[in-house]
A and B are shown apart, each in its own frame.
Chain A
Amino acid sequence: MSEVTERSALGGKVAGIGVRLPTLLTRRDLVVLVVFAIAVLTMPTWLVALGGYEALATKIVIWAIFALGFDILLGLTGYLSFGHAAFFGTAAYVTGLSLKHLSADILPAMALSFVVVLVVALALGVLTLRRSGIYFAILTLAFAEMAHALVLSSTLQKWTGGDNGLTGLASPSLFGSRLSDHSVFYICSALLIAGYVFARVLRRSPLGLMLRSIKENQMRLEYTGVNVFAYKMAAFVVSAMYAGLAGSLMVIYEPYVATKYLYWSTSGEVVIMSVIGGVGTLIGPIFGAGFMLYFENVVQAFIGEQWKLLLGIIFVAIVIFLPGGFADLGRLGWKAMGGVVRSRRHNVPDMPGSVEEDRRRRQRGDLEEDDD
């Protein structure tokens, strides 16, 4: 071994021997989290004041969980999945089937769908994550469609209900007592708040830094001794679990499984929410979920079915002119009011190439950095 350098003293420091690490959550963090928790828990009240209805709050919370998990993948690693409906829908079907055939209790249903989604996520990750972002987008779309086709097929129809979806589910209960709409809302909210705390901790953790570096330069990361594929899988699986949780809760909220849950439109919706809200900001996609569902609810009352068209146009406009979404808008507004903004924009989506692609592009001088 080469001679011991004075690094070893600092090395001890790094290992955390006898050193106090900074606290996980600062005071500012706690303030943000408390405000967030209050906003979520009081949603049924202020949503009604804005023209919504109570049950919509639960729906928003569920989609917020979905979008939050999606942002962990897209916002941190830059991988754009068009197949997250596969996790949402699979969890929904497993939960539904459990409620129908196994027990009306939500715990076994959720546990079962947790396991199934984990397996599906691992399989899908292995098949799709070794490639560049473009392949990944296409393949995730394709495999989600496969799940959708399977569920509709005449072979599985007797289990899945085919076109009509899965009906006849028992009303969900917990420990024997039937769950009221209010209880469902509070369960979902608690999970969203926990999920948000987890996401924030994740982003600031060493794991979070590794994930963010994937989006920046996979080759550099690999050549710093990091197993990039393993980290990609980690992000993908975490993201899938959020989606699965949302899907499970969806069926608990409304005991019916629509085939739409596996359709590409569901994948598309979470993409739209995240982009509109602001990719990479964590809170942005949550807001995006609220915005989209509120939009659907309120605007539909005015212009009927065309709300989707309008939303699509808004989405395209945001991609063209404001890729950072509403979060960026918020930042600009804050700046305009004289506030100080952190100079970095985390939330402009980018797509990582594979290590191979990066290497070739760099060899061709494609990715020139600024020269002086």
Chain B
Amino acid sequence: MIETVNGHASAPILEVRGVSKWFAGLKALDCVNLTVQEGSIHAIIGPNGAGKSTLLNVLIGLIEADDGTITYAGETLKGLSPHNIIQKGIARVFQTPQIFPALSLVENVAIAILAKRDGKFSIRLLEALRPGHPVVELAAEHLREVGLADHLQSEAQHLSRGDKRRLELALCLAAEPRLLLLDEPTAGMSRHDTNRTIDLLQHLSRKGMTKIVIEHDMHVVFSLADRISVLAQGAVIAEGVPEDVRGNPKVQQAYLGEASA
């Protein structure tokens, strides 16, 4: 099914069909269908406990679905180990920023670059990762792009949470993914930081990168998303462009009066 995104012809990069997942008798995901067009920003929203993070974890291979299929760029992701999935061009931003605490910012990003350059495993000994090395320079570039140019050599654990989130983004971007999965990227951020993140993500969308964003902040969702899927109690209750979803009575009911921005 060819659609247009940002004026370009586009094909689905991710197709989720009938995915279900049980956790000890509780149905966390109920026959979820999801189609994400390449190059688009697809938001997944829903009240707490709706299964959004579970869905993301299933997509990325952290959890295995009990039922259904997941097709990424025409291939199935089932049974692949996480690093193999990532190597296909997927990157993931976690709910709590996952970075390498005692390594410097540059080293953090360099790891992603090396993973892209050398693949999932390779023995590279005859290189010294010092300033001047192309990987190091490129890492610095990525850090500048997300606004972390000031602290290049300091340890990642000393960053504020907002900055850690930015570092994680830099890490993901350095891997040059086709698909970026973001789990509440603006959680805990100030209004200022949130806007900066929105700008950054919009800037990236012009590069053709597909994004799936789980979000609570409706302002973020409606600024960014091309399409929205609404999850409640593990099932998709609505799906479509932002205007349609906003007016959908089922969605309003699911949120039970939760304020939209």
Task: Check B120–A221 contact: CB distance below 8 A.
Answer: no
Question: Which residue of the partner chain, among B62, B104, B141, B161, contacts A359 with CB atoms under 8 Å?
Answer: B62
On chain B, the residues within 8 Å of A223 by CB distance are: 60, 82-83, 86, 92, 94, 98
Q: Does A176 contact B (CB under 8 A)?
A: no
Q: 1/0 contact trace for B100-133 toward A, CB 8 Å?
A: 1111100100111111111111111111111111
Using A224-B115, A231-B121, A369-B161 as known contacts, say yes or no to A346 and B86 having CB atoms under 8 A apart. no
Q: Does B4 contact A (CB under 8 A)?
A: no
Q: How far is the CB of A130 from chain B (nearest CB, A)?
A: 12
Inter-chain CA distance A231–B158, complex, in Å, is 27
Considering only residues 217-251 of chain A, those with a C-beta below 8 Å from chain B are 217, 219-228, 230-231, 234
The size class of the interface chain B forms with chain A is 35 or more
Question: Which residue of the partner chain, among B38, B99, B132, contacts A2 with CB atoms under 8 Å?
Answer: B38
Inter-chain CA distance A191–B219, complex, in Å, is 63
Question: Which residue of the partner chain, among B83, B116, B178, contacts A227 with CB atoms under 8 Å?
Answer: B83
Question: Which residue of the partner chain, among A26, A212, A224, contacts B86 with CB atoms under 8 Å?
Answer: A224
Number of interface residues of A (CB under 8 A): 56
Q: How far is the CB of A147 from chain B (nearest CB, A)?
A: 28
Question: Which residue of the partner chain, among A14, A207, A346, contacts B102 with CB atoms under 8 Å?
Answer: A346
On chain B, the residues within 8 Å of A22 by CB distance are: 128, 130-133
Q: How far is the CB of A369 from chain B (nearest CB, A)?
A: 6
CB within 8 Å: A-B pair count: 168
Using A21-B133, A205-B129 as known contacts, say yes or no to A2 and B209 having CB atoms under 8 A apart. yes
Inter-chain CA distance A372–B159, complex, in Å, is 9
On chain A, the residues within 8 Å of B157 by CB distance are: 369-370
Question: Which residue of the partner chain, among B112, B134, B160, contacts A19 with CB atoms under 8 Å?
Answer: B134
Q: Does B162 contact A (CB under 8 A)?
A: yes
Inter-chain CA distance A217–B87, complex, in Å, is 18
Q: Does B79 contact A (CB under 8 A)?
A: no
Q: 1/0 contact trace for B128-149 toward A, CB 8 Å?
A: 1111111101100100000000
Q: Which residue of B lies closest to A206 (CB)?
A: B124
Task: Check A213–B60 contact: CB distance below 8 A.
Answer: no
Inter-chain CA distance A222–B85, complex, in Å, is 10
Q: Does A337 contact B (CB under 8 A)?
A: no
Task: Check A206–B127 contact: CB distance below 8 A.
Answer: yes
Inter-chain CA distance A332–B83, complex, in Å, is 40
Q: Does B232 contact A (CB under 8 A)?
A: no
Task: Check B98–A225 contact: CB distance below 8 A.
Answer: no
On chain B, the residues within 8 Å of A226 by CB distance are: 83, 111, 115, 120-121
Q: How far is the CB of A85 from chain B (nearest CB, A)?
A: 27
List 18 other contacts, CB 8 Å, given A213-B107, A223-B86, A345-B102.
A3-B207, A13-B134, A13-B137, A24-B127, A205-B127, A206-B124, A213-B103, A215-B102, A216-B102, A217-B99, A222-B83, A224-B171, A225-B115, A226-B83, A343-B155, A344-B104, A362-B94, A371-B188
